[in-house]
Structures are given as structure tokens and as C-alpha cells.
Structure 1
Amino acid sequence: MDLCLLVEKINETHFVKPLLPNEELRIMVSNSKQKPILLVLCKSKCFLSNELGSAHAHVYISGDSSHIFDCFYSPIRLLQLMKLGAIDVKGSFRNILRLESILQLCK
């Protein structure tokens, strides 16, 4: 699950910047094989963090590593994978839709 490429793409793509929030949008991505990763999306800079500490995530994504890879890199949408039961996504619907929009523009 290499999210570094996604973060680079988000930071370099200028038409995605208007969708990014002014405050941090934190996405916790976890699977059974690896330690959870925190993806932080913000208008100033997007980055990955292994320091989970007391960080509260706005969206939680969990599932098999291949399905999580599909979520970030294949044409299958986040909500489609959720409806199929391939991944679990928890958070407010607004934040999930914002994340899905950003992911679709970066694919």
C-alpha cells in the first residue's frame, strides 16, 4: 500500500487544490498486514504520517490491502468498494464524498 505516489500527485496537481480543506482532513488507512497510516489532506500541504498518537481521524478506511490499493489507484470508486463490502469506510458522508472526489481527480 504505497500512498506516497498519491500524496505527490495531490501536491503537484493544481486543479485538486480548490477541493482541499483549509483545515486538516485526516484519513486513517489500515489493513491487517501493516501498521495504520494517517493521510493528512490540507490546502497548504498533503502528507503521510506514521505518528498516530492522539490524532483523531475524520475518515477511517480498512480492509484487505488489495482492495485498499483499488480504492486509491483503480477506476473503482470508494463508495462502490464500500457497497460491495470490500472495504469499510467510516466517517461523515461529506468527508467521504470530498475524499472520493479528490481520489477520482488524481487517478
Structure 2
Amino acid sequence: MQVLRHLVPILPDEQLYVRFESDDETALLLIGKESAARGMENDERKTLTVRGSKEALASLLNGELKLQQLVRLREVHVSGSFRQLLLLESLLHLAKPYRDVG
């Protein structure tokens, strides 16, 4: 697994739970500087939920479309604070693999 050390400075000190929900599946992602084992109690105030079709979530996670683009297109619905949304969008953008332009 590739280590993305450049993301460490913007990781939150406390765990942020990101719940991705489609029609038939749910995945929970923990983001933060703490180890996952220490922060396993799920606090709804620290949870960002992204709901949408599998295709929309795949395009988000593959870096094809940005989170706010999908929200504007009404492909996904986000529940949580705007700050959490911006953090997730920043992390996804900064974690995208570098592509050569040629």
C-alpha cells in the first residue's frame, strides 16, 4: 500500500467517520491521526454520510468527479458539516494518483 505522507498535516486529530451508502451496501472509513482501534465508538457528530448509487460513489473514489460536483448533479446526498465535506474532498483530491500529461 502506498503511503501518502503529504496528507498527514491535514488529517484531523480525532477520528472522522465517513459512511458511504448505496442501495444495498454500506462502507465505513475512519480518517484521522489516531489509530483506528482507539476510536471505534461511532459518534454521529463526527460522521459524514455520503449516499448515492454505486456508480456515483465509484466515480468519486476513482477521482473522476469531485464530491461537490456530484452533489450539484444530485448524484449523491451528503449529511454532515460543510467542514467535514471539504476535508473529505481535499483528501480525495490530494490522494489521486499523479497522471502524466502528454
TM tier, shorter chain? 0.7 to 0.9
**Deviation for aligned residue 1:37:** 1.4
Q: 1:69 aligns with which of 43, 51, 58?
A: 58
Identity of aligned residues (%): 27
Deviates more, 1:38-47 or 1:76-85: 38-47
User: Does residue 1:40 correspond to 2:30, yes or no?
Assistant: yes
Identify the residue that residue 14 of structure 1 maps to in structure 2: 5
Task: Output the CA distance in 1 between the equivalents of 2:63 and 2:94.
Answer: 12
Structure having the higher Rg? 2
Gaps of 5+ in 2: 97-102
**Deviation for aligned residue 1:33:** 2.4
Q: Is the 8 A contact 2:49 2:78 kept in 1?
A: yes
Identify if the C-alpha distance between structure 1 residues 25 and 84 changes in structure 2 by more than 3 Å, giving closer, same or farther: same
Q: How many residues align?
A: 92
Q: Is the 8 A contact 2:12 2:33 kept in 1?
A: yes
**Deviation for aligned residue 1:24:** 0.3
- Give the TM-score of the pair, scaled to structure 1: 0.76
Please give the root-mean-square deviation of Cα atoms over the aligned residues, in Å: 2.1
Identify if the C-alpha distance between structure 1 residues 46 and 75 changes in structure 2 by more than 3 Å, giving closer, same or farther: farther
Structure 1 runs of 4+ aligned residues shifted over 6 Å read: none
Task: Output the CA distance in 1 between the equivalents of 2:36 and 2:64.
Answer: 22
Write out aligned runs for 1:1-107 (5 A): 8-9=1-2, 12-34=3-25, 36-45=26-35, 55=42, 56=44, 57-107=46-96
- Give the TM-score of the pair, scaled to structure 2: 0.80
